[in-house]
């Protein structure tokens, strides 16, 4: 344990010198008592510690709406401790822990357990997501109200990994969570159209002889859910949007004024299904197997544009750790998913900032402010200004370096970026004024 | 240094012709009383079959034995694999046994590609999922060339369940490389999405295609497909896409009929057509051994493989 | 011209080859009592060509048609693993086969004897000749196996680093035997 006190409200004063807030002109930022105290030229300010942030971009601490921490149940892949360490290394100060654990987070007991583990870890806030249906089985609503009223104060509900495909059940869930300002985050996948699906249905799947996962299976559910949400006047969040068609539907729903939000993963902003065929790691490498699958270059283009124009509200990692043995297999036998917390910001810089689609203010909006708002996290996603909670990420966008899975904090190594060179690097992360990462290393 | 036969797409025209020409010479060996050659003495070929396929396994076994290789048959059923051993662990076991080549049949597309990462020997794809079956395509090309004398410019129609057919995938790529014009004929449900990106023509109408075909290759259609709504009934399928006597009569006189086997007589092909002198179905089996000998010789016969891209 | 080609020297020209083959044809006739039940089997590629030429001479001298064929030895070589797998040559046996016949193997150059050893193995798999003899256009020495030729066109003393290359009209557009100096560096 470090010299920093883990407890809330610990008196610690840190002076950050010369940081470019949202990429603007260099300013000094004074963090005190868990809050941003002052911003300006603070050369003479009295501080317990001073951090030279020349050249670094200061962003509000990142918020992930979609993280698989795997605890309880699959502690061989990730734990709350290692997952939150990875989050802090990636610049995150809050993550939403998905419900598909074992046991499933479908009761107040399980969500409180996860919430408490997060509190104890101290690397970032852990906000549990509750299951929509008991056991993710899609038959019966889980005790949504009990989870909302628990210490974990659950506001996001999702059967992620599985789609709430039953239209009646989805309608009821959307209606029910209105009572406590909840949101249903849908994993949009029509189950019958995706039986045995392995890879985006298209040229690559046809050549590789892998069962196709057609775009329409996602788009049909999104269209239906948007209509349902409008019908009952509820809030809908769409997980990991992956196709150009989905973007069109969400854009249409938003144009109607419906309360629909959406997320995109970093990997869907950068990688395509051709990775399964032409990667330097060899064809059929399941490191690229993920659900929803990697799509085409055209989809990637549409997703980037949608994130830039706000049709897609935020970036969510869908950080999905798997042990080596679940990926060192035939494609069809491999687990779906990739880790992403520690590479999210570099990937977004590569896909959105380097391409001129987003500036740093845009990145802060899509990776902090909007996800916090969707998840109803009052203490996160606030602008870096006096009085705001001192959740700050210092990021060096000037470096480029190869991705090294062995250097990651996550317990798993299933990153699709191995061997790729990505820009940027998180130098420091502060959670309510307390550093969780300094000089790129966990505190 | 390693090289494999994983996809016919990896074969250049020269590679493919070298295999066919080598097979042509080896076919003469099959006609003499001593069919064995000493070429692969001391080499070990493992037949690693995760799916039952007695025909293909026996064909590879005969090919390897005629070249004097030691053959180890590893059937996944009843072995450690059915007890949960991973493909990778199986690969490491084979590696420890010193396999010079692994002939793999697997229900998962791409399993041979994965295996190739984990063993030093050559990997020969003997059918992977719904992906490819390269030696079947090679023996088909060989059989066509023996019957019709050439491949360049021939019009070859492949009829049936293209979507699930590894034979179709391998044949489209190989026959295109060898200069033939391939047309896929199937109901739209049994063609892959994006099939238009393949180097071939596509038709839904068998009757329109038949008179223009030099070769008609019928694919096996599994009845289970009916339950997944790929077509309404066996009767309707057979009526629209089966090769019966009437359709056979509409072929031109030199056209030949092929089938990779096993056949559903009366479904995709009538017994009369299958047994006609213009059917190559029986000789395809014999040619299978010859072509597989050629592949094993060219992969294992020298200091390094003579075909396929080096990795 | 490269240095290697500068070092090349023709040791037999067309007429020399012609005379050598004529002599071999005569010797075969003498030693086999008029080429009775002889089969000429050339080792591809140039040995097969030479076998046909010798058969032509015999036909010319005695009016006898000696069966000619070719026997490919690629699959029987003992150096397969030293080089990439090579394309196969053609084996073509006369219709009546080799059983009970006197087979005269024909090769262009006799060197280590390993090719002939492979040919004997290959021959063993296609039948049982009464006797096997060996004819070669050039014997350049340096045997590594207990093998010797029955009919030799020319004995050519060479150093091991030198190369002997045979050119024939049918395959190369001219007749010549060329000695290429080896790289002694």
Nearest-CA neighbor of A67 among A103, A91, A94, A105? A94
Give residue limits of the domains in chain A: 13-57+388-442, 61-375
Tell me the per-residue pLDDT of C43-98, one tens digit each, with 9 for 90 and over.
999 999 999 999 999 999 999 999 999 999 999 999 888 888 888 999 999 999 99
Inter-chain touch B26–C88, beta carbons under 8 Å: yes
Q: What number does CATH give the domain A61-375? A: 3.20.20.140
A13-21 and A57-60: which strand pairing? parallel
| Touching status, chains C and A (3+ beta-carbon pairs under 8 Å) | no
The confidence band for B260, taking pLDDT boundaries of 50, 70 and 90, is very high
Classify strands C68-70 and C38-42 as parallel, antiparallel or unpaired: parallel
Query: In this predicted model, what pLDDT tens digit does every residue of B108-121 receive, in sequence order?
Result: 999 999 999 999 99
Given this model, what pLDDT does residue B224 score?
78
Could you report the per-residue pLDDT of C121-154, keeping only the tens digit for each?
999 999 999 999 999 999 999 999 999 999 999 9
Residue C3 has pLDDT above 60, yes or no: no
C-alpha neighbours within 13 Å on the C-beta side of residue A371: 31
What is the assigned CATH class of domain A13-57+388-442? mainly beta
CB within 8 Å: B111 and A330: yes
Is C13-79+90-161 CATH 3.40.50.720?
no
pLDDT of B310 above 50:
no
How many other C-beta atoms can be found within 10 angstroms of the C-beta atom of residue B88?
18
Question: Residue B141 and residue B292: Cα distance in Å, rounded?
Answer: 13
The answer to whether A330 contacts B108, with C-beta atoms less than 8 Å apart, is yes
B277 among the known binding-site residues?
no
Option in A208, A325, A328 nearest B109 (CB): A208
Residue B44 annotated as binding? Answer: no
| B300 in contact with C, Cβ within 8 Å | yes
CATH tag, B8-133+285-300: 3.40.50.1370
Q: Do B193 and A202 touch (CB under 8 A)?
A: yes
**Quick one: pLDDT at residue A8?**
47
User: What does the angle CA C63 – CA C64 – CA C68 come to, to the nearest 5 degrees?
Assistant: 130
> pLDDT tens-digit profile of A256-296?
999 999 999 999 999 999 999 999 889 999 999 999 999 99
The reply to whether B160 sits in an annotated binding site is no
**pLDDT for residue B81:** 58
Of A214, A222, A228, the closest CA to residue A240 belongs to: A222
Inspect the interface and report whether the beta carbons of A330 and B110 lie closer than 8 Å.
yes
For the entire predicted model, the pTM comes to 0.92
Asked if residue B166 belongs to a known ligand binding site, the reply is yes
Measure C170 CA to nearest chain B CA, in Å.
22
pLDDT along chain A (443 residues), means of 10: 44 90 97 96 89 97 98 96 98 98 97 96 96 97 98 97 97 98 98 97 97 98 98 98 98 98 98 96 96 98 98 98 95 97 98 98 98 97 97 98 96 96 98 96 95
Distance from CA of A208 to the nearest CA of B (A): 6
CATH 3.40.50.2300 fits B134-280, yes or no: no
Q: Cis link prior to B124 (omega < 30° from 0)?
A: no
Q: Do domains A13-57+388-442 and A61-375 have the same CATH topology?
A: no
pLDDT at B311: 39
Compute CA distances C66 → A79, C63, C93, C131, C133, whole Å: 86, 9, 12, 16, 15
Q: Enter the tokens of residue B171.
A: 């044949």
Determine the Cα–Cα distance for residues A186 and A236; give it in Å rounded to an integer.
8
Lowest-confidence pick of A12-16, A25-29, B175-179, B197-201: A12-16
Q: Which of B109, B111, B113 sits opposite A282 (nearest CB)?
A: B113
Residue of chain B whose Cα is closest to the Cα of C90:
B25
* Interchain contact B36–C (C-beta under 8 A): yes
pLDDT of residue B33: 82
In chain C, residues with a C-beta closer than 8 Å to the C-beta of B306 are 84-86
Mean pLDDT value across chain C:
92
Residues sharing a CB contact under 8 Å with residue A390, sequence separation 6 or more, in sequence order: A31, A32, A34, A35, A36, A430, A432, A433
pLDDT at B307: 75
Q: Are B124 and B59 in contact (CB under 8 A)?
A: no
Chain C interface includes B18 (CB < 8 A): yes
Spell out the domain ranges in chain C: 13-79+90-161
Contact in structure between A279 and A285 (CB atoms under 8 Å): yes
Q: What are A49-78's pLDDT values in tens digits?
A: 999 999 999 999 999 999 999 999 999 999
Q: What are the extents of the domains in chain B?
A: 8-133+285-300, 134-280
Under 8 Å between Cβ of B119 and B132? no
Separation of first and last alpha carbons in chain A: 8
Return the partners of chain B (3 or more C-beta pairs < 8 Å): A, C
User: Helix, strand or coil for residue A173?
Assistant: helix
Lowest-pLDDT range of B75-84, B241-250, C157-166: B75-84
Q: Which residue is listed with tokens 């036998």? A: A333
- Name every chain B residue with its beta carbon within 8 A of the beta carbon of A329: 86-88, 114
At B128, give phi and psi (nearest 5°).
-125, 110
Q: Name the minimum distance, in Å, from the CA of B100 to any CA of chain C.
A: 13
SS3 C59: helix
Q: Do B197 and A206 touch (CB under 8 A)?
A: yes
A130 backbone dihedrals φ, ψ, rounded to 5°: -95, 150
In the sheet that holds C102-110, the strands lie side by side as C68-70, C38-42, C102-110, C131-139, C151-155
Sign of CA dihedral B229, B234, B239, B245: positive
- C-alpha angle B151/B155/B157, rounded to 5°? 115
B55 has binding-site annotation: yes
Task: Provide the ipTM.
Answer: 0.93
Q: Which residue has the tokens 């610049």?
A: A91
CA separation for the pair A49, A47 (Å, rounded): 5
């Amino acid at each position: 344990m470090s010299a920093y006190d883990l407890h809330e409200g610990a008196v610690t004063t840190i002076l950050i010198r010369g940081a470019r807030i949202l990429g603007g002109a260099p300013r000094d930022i004074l963090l005190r008592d868990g809050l941003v105290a002052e911003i300006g030229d603070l050369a003479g300010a009295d501080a317990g510690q001073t951090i030279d942030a020349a050249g670094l971009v200061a962003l509000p601490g990142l918020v992930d709406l979609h993280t698989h921490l795997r605890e309880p149940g699959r502690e061989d892949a990730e734990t709350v401790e290692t997952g939150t360490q990875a989050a802090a290394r990636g610049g995150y100060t809050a993550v939403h822990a998905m419900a598909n654990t074992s046991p499933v987070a479908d009761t107040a007991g399980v969500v409180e357990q996860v919430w408490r583990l997060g509190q104890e870890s101290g690397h970032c806030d852990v906000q549990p997501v509750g299951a929509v249906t008991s056991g993710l089985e899609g038959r019966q609503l889980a005790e949504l109200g009990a989870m909302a009223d628990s210490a974990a104060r659950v506001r996001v509900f999702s059967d992620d990994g599985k789609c709430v495909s039953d239209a009646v059940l989805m309608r009821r869930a959307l209606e029910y969570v209105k009572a406590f300002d909840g949101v249903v985050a849908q994993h949009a996948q029509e189950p019958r159209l995706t039986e045995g699906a392995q890879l985006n249905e298209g040229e690559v799947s046809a050549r590789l002889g892998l069962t196709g996962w057609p775009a329409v299976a996602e788009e049909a559910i999104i269209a239906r859910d948007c209509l349902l949400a409008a019908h009952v006047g509820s809030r809908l969040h769409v997980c990991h949007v992956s196709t150009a068609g989905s973007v069109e539907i969400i854009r249409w729903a938003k144009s109607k004024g419906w309360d629909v939000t959406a997320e995109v993963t970093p990997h869907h902003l950068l990688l395509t299904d051709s990775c399964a065929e032409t990667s330097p790691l060899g064809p059929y490498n399941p490191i690229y197997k993920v659900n929803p699958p990697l799509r085409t270059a055209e989809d990637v283009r549409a997703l980037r544009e949608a994130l830039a124009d706000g049709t897609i509200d935020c970036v969510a990692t869908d950080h999905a750790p798997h042990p080596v043995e679940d990926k060192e297999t035939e494609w069809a036998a491999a687990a779906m998913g990739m880790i992403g917390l520690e590479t999210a910001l570099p990937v977004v810089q590569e896909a959105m900032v380097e391409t001129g689609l987003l500036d740093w203010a845009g990145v802060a909006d899509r990776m902090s402010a909007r996800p916090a708002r969707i998840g109803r996290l009052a203490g996160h996603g606030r602008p870096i200004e006096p009085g705001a909670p001192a959740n700050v990420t210092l990021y060096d966008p000037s470096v480029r370096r190869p991705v090294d899975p062995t250097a990651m904090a996550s317990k798993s190594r299933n990153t699709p970026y191995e061997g790729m060179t990505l820009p940027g690097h998180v130098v420091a992360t502060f959670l309510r004024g307390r550093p969780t990462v300094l000089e790129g290393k966990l505190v | 240094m390693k090289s494999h036969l994983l996809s016919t797409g990896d074969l250049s025209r020269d590679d493919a012709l070298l295999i066919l020409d080598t097979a042509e010479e080896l076919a003469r060996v099959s006609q003499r009383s001593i069919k064995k050659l000493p070429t692969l003495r001391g080499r070990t070929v493992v037949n690693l079959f995760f799916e039952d396929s007695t025909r293909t396994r026996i064909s590879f076994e005969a090919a390897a034995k005629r070249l004097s290789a030691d053959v180890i048959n590893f059937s996944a059923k009843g072995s450690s694999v059915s007890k949960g051993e991973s493909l990778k662990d199986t690969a490491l076991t084979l590696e420890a046994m010193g396999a010079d080549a692994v002939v793999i049949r697997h229900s998962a597309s791409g399993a041979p590609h994965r295996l190739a990462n984990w063993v030093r020997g050559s990997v020969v794809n003997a059918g992977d999922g719904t992906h490819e079956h390269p030696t079947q395509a090679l023996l088909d090309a060989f059989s066509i060339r023996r019957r019709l004398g050439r491949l360049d410019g021939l019009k070859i129609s492949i009829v049936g369940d293209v979507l699930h057919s590894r034979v179709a995938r391998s044949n489209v790529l190989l026959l295109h490389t060898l200069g033939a014009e391939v047309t896929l004929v199937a109901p739209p449900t049994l063609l892959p999405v994006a099939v238009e990106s393949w180097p071939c023509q596509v038709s839904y109408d068998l009757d329109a295609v038949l008179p223009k075909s030099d070769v008609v290759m019928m694919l096996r259609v599994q009845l289970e497909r009916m339950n997944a709504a790929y077509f309404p009934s066996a009767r309707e399928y057979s009526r629209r896409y089966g090769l019966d006597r009437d359709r056979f009569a509409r072929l031109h006189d030199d056209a030949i009929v092929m089938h990779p086997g096993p056949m559903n007589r009366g479904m995709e092909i009538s017994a009369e057509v299958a047994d006609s002198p213009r059917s190559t179905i029986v000789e395809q089996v014999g040619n299978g051994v010859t072509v597989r000998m050629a592949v094993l010789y060219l992969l294992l016969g020298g200091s390094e493989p003579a075909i396929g891209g080096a990795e | 011209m490269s240095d290697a080609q500068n070092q090349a020297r023709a040791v037999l020209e067309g007429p020399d080859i012609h005379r050598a083959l004529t002599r071999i044809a005569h010797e075969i006739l003498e030693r086999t009592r008029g080429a009775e039940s002889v089969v000429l089997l050339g080792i591809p590629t140039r040995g097969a060509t030479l076998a046909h030429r010798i058969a032509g001479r015999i036909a010319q001298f005695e009016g006898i048609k000696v069966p000619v064929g070719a026997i490919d030895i690629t699959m029987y070589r003992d150096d397969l693993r030293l080089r990439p797998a090579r394309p196969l040559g053609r084996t073509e046996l006369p219709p009546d086969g080799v059983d009970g016949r006197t087979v005269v193997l024909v090769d262009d150059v006799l060197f280590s004897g390993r090719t002939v050893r492979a040919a004997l193995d290959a021959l063993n798999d296609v039948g049982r000749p009464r006797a096997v003899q060996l004819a070669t256009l050039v014997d350049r020495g340096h045997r590594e196996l207990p093998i010797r030729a029955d009919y030799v066109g020319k004995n050519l003393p060479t150093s091991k680093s030198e190369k002997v290359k045979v050119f024939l009209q049918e395959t190369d557009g001219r007749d010549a035997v060329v000695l290429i100096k080896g790289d002694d560096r």
